[in-house]
Structure 1
Amino acid sequence: MPEGGAPATPPATPGKNWRDLRKRALSAIVLAPAAVLCVWLGANAYTFLLALGAAILTWEWVHLCGLRTVTMPGAVVPAAVLLAGTLAVLEYPLAAWLVLGGGFLLTWVSAAGLRGRDRPRQPALRLALGVLYIGVAGLCLIELRHENEAGRANLVFLLLVVWASDIGAYLAGRALGGPLLWPQVSPAKTWSGSAGGLLLAMAIGAVLAPELAPGSPARAAAAAAVLAVATQAGDLLESGIKRHFNVKDTSSLIPGHGGLLDRLDGLLAAAPAAMLLALLIGYGGALWR
């Protein structure tokens, strides 16, 4: 028994908890092709996808904090994220980052100034952090796509790796069970699932990356490993956020997945990681060149 007399968290039992597999599969069949198509087409389709995603994500975050997006200060969260995204699409990156930072500060100050029943259930800083949590990933996804052909390949690669990490972690964790990865944060994620997600992401990256753009399969596997680790870190972060807010799902928007924040938690962390990789290897080329 651990220090303090609290019972140890039992390891996950293999072969159980497959009840949500059908809903997960159906949701993925609908959402994944639409996302890849919008990335591939670029321009208006990709801009619409990001704007829709940002609107839903910010709505979920504001509601988690006990406010509404149609009144202050909740309205600042989607407004800041969408305005920053618009400036990034118009290729004013510095202005976009300044708007995002300004939106964070304005949300924090305006929420902190509320009194009585209008005050958010959560501290003002947590409401404001939604601007950065969602906005930083959004600006990175916009900037990555601005690389034209390389950007399209990099974004498809990013999506495939994130999905492979999620699928590998789900299948390996359910099939093998074993010790939990971080029981204080997530009661379901296991070390076996983490390893399965990492291995499948590396395999998918190595096999499919050369089909998207010229480059080394070994480097593609290494890039996929970095993105897979970021994906799993984002998944754990979202689990911690939901535990903090004391909710099972961020909303009931997507059957089998909960809300869009539940579905995109890994991508929100992997997108900035992909942007850093792009800057490190030289902007304008494939992440695995």
Structure 2
Amino acid sequence: MKSSNSSSKWSDLAPRVLSAIVMAGVAALAILLGDPIFLTLIAVVIGLCVGEFARLLDPTRPAMFTLLGVIATLAVFFASFGYSAADPDGVLVTLRTLVLMLPPLLGAALLTQHRLLFLGYAGLIMLASLGFIAMGPGPVLIWFLLIIIMSDVAGYFVGRTIGGPKFWPRVSPKKTWSGTIAGWVGALLIGFFAASQGVFTPVEALFTPLIALAGQMGDIVESAIKRHVGVKDSSNLIPGHGGVLDRFDAMIGAAGALMLLTGIASLLGWSAG
């Protein structure tokens, strides 16, 4: 009996690892090739996430969630034109980036239920797309991805091995405090290693657990939404992971939080100048 429970505990490991290897390979290739391949990947992923989220909330209207996914993809392309992460004034809101709010607003108008929920979470997805555009296909994005991956991997193995008290049992019954803290520690180790390579300063490295926490909360928020609407996965596109949104929810939460912090810091810097 104990052996059966132990094997079932790791039953999703093989498909998770294989899917993760394939997705990591695709991401690495896109980063290596740079734009426009990188931008195309980001735009398609964001479009799939928005489309899947609309499908979660209103699964009976495929034309509607397909339309929203296509519009989200096009919006990411449009917002990327002329965007500069090195803008000295830190201007994140422009006429180009405002178009990113079109899919959330249109979806909120088209859905027959959960309109505010779609507006809020789809807005976070589109904000995250701006974060990926700002980081661009370079070392910052690579280390950002490594932080999220390490947090997820450390949380998975430590949580399944040690177990213990649940982090938020009503929303995500599989997540434990041991796994959550392991994710923070893993992110911190990656941050310090990146600092040793000159990518971050030691002070910036200290904030990497916050990125991990934002990623974990992104995962938890999506889990809460799926429980609310009574759906297990956003889709079945990725074996072992469900849908694209299920795989990228942590990165969406982390990238969205990173853009909010960047915006706040930019505003404070601008007012101080």
Asked if these proteins are the same fold (TM beyond 0.5), I'd say yes
Alignment of 1:231-242 (within 5 A): 231-242=215-226
1:195 to 173, 181, 205: 181
Pick aligned residue for 2:259 from 270, 275, 279: 275
| Counterpart code for 2:97 | W
Paired position in structure 2 for 1:152:
138
Question: Which residue does the alignment assign to 1:91?
Answer: 82
User: Which secondary structure does the structure 2 equivalent of 1:43 belong to?
Assistant: coil
Asked whether the equivalents of residues 15 and 174 of structure 1 are also in contact (C-alpha less than 8 Å), the reply is: no
**What is the alpha-carbon distance in structure 2 between the residues aligned to residue 55 and residue 69 of structure 1?**
17
Cα 1:41/1:188, change in 2 over 3 Å: same
Residue identity matched to 1:271: A
Task: Mark the runs of 5 or more structure 2 residues left unpaired by the alignment.
Answer: 84-92, 268-273
Tell me the secondary structure at the aligned position of residue 252 of structure 1. Answer: coil
1:17 Cα deviation after fit: 1.1
Q: CA deviation at 1:273?
A: 2.6
Find the aligned partners of 2:236 and 2:66 in 1 and give their Cα distance: 21
Q: What is the aligned partner in structure 1 of residue 25 from structure 2?
A: 33
Q: 1:78 to 1:280 in 2, by over 3 A?
A: same
Counterpart contact for 2:159–2:180, Cα < 8 Å? yes
State the Cα RMSD in Å. Answer: 2.7
Residues of 1 paired with 2:184 and 2:8: CA distance? Answer: 21
Contact residue 188 and residue 206 of structure 2 kept, 8 A: yes
Shift of 1:87: 2.1
Q: Give the 5 Å matches for 1:102-141.
A: 102-111=102-111, 120=112, 122-141=113-132
Amino acid at match of 1:30: V
| Within-5 A mapping of 1:54-93 | 54-67=46-59, 71-72=63-64, 74=65, 77-91=68-82
Count of residue correspondences: 254
Distance 1:54 1:68, change over 3 A: farther
Q: 1:185 and 1:250, CA in 2 relative to 1: closer, same or farther beyond 3 A?
A: same
Q: For residues 121 and 63 of structure 2, what CA distance do their matches in structure 1 show?
A: 16
- Identity, in percent, stands at 37
* Cα deviation, residue 70, structure 1: 6.0
| Contact kept in structure 2, 1:39 and 1:46, CA below 8 Å | yes
TM-score, normalised relative to structure 1: 0.78
Aligned to 1:225: 209
Output the CA distance in 2 between the equivalents of 1:166 and 1:180: 16
User: 2:170 maps to which residue?
Assistant: 184
More helix by share: 2
Distance 1:279 1:244 in 2: 31
Conserved 8 A contact 2:124-2:256: no
Residue from 205, 219, 238 that aligns with 2:191: 205
Scaled by the length of structure 2, the TM-score of the pair is 0.82
